[in-house]
Amino acid sequence: MNVETEAGLMKLKNRADETEMKKEERETSRIYQFSFRVSEDVLDENGHVNNVVYVQWMQEAAIQHAEAAGCLQATKAAGATWVARFHQIEYLRPLYAGDEVCVMTWVSNFRKLRSLRKYKFVRPSDNVVLAQGATEWVLMDIQSKRPRRISEEVKGALMLVPEAQEP
């Protein structure tokens, strides 16, 4: 193999690597997940995770996803911030101290001023869904404190997940 051929193959390999990295970035912008072990400090008097903690985890997942996908940067650059309009959660199975849990989140839709984000809590050892939920977020102008239209730049940072492709 001559030097030109090797250089050409190296360029193709680098392009393939870049394409794979972009694919991974797109997946990050579609469905975000993080896993952790439940600590004792989040338990309630019934010995399982307090209901309010799930909402805190939902918010944390949304923030981490938005940050990883570049949505937080686009939102700040637009002079805006996201605020929760409502949270919905369905508890299916309890979580206890020491349990491993994976939180998945994705954006389901963008409307004029609002966006619906969904969540799923799964036990990785057996893939049992422990809870599922949603938050409707409203984009607010930082200066006026009023809702504002979601810009294409903000929308472009996060890819929608159609219902048929939800985890």
pLDDT in tens, the chain (167 residues): 554 545 544 544 444 444 343 434 445 569 999 999 999 999 999 999 999 999 999 999 999 999 999 999 999 999 999 999 999 999 999 999 999 999 999 999 999 999 999 999 999 999 999 999 999 999 999 999 999 999 999 999 999 999 999 99
Helix (H) or strand (E) holding 163: none
Distance from C-alpha of 99 to C-alpha of 15, rounded to nearest angstrom: 41
pTM for this model (two decimals) = 0.82
Residue with tokens 């944390």: 60
Q: What is the pLDDT of residue 20?
A: 41
Counts for the chain of helices (H) and strands (E), in that order: 4, 5
Burial of 91: CB neighbours in 10 Å, binned 0-12, 13-18, 19+: middle
Query: Contact, 157 vs 70, CB < 8 A?
Result: yes
Tokens found for residue 23: 């694919």
Distance from C-alpha of 138 to C-alpha of 129, rounded to nearest angstrom: 27
**Domains by residue range for the chain, with CATH:** 3-165 (3.10.129.10)
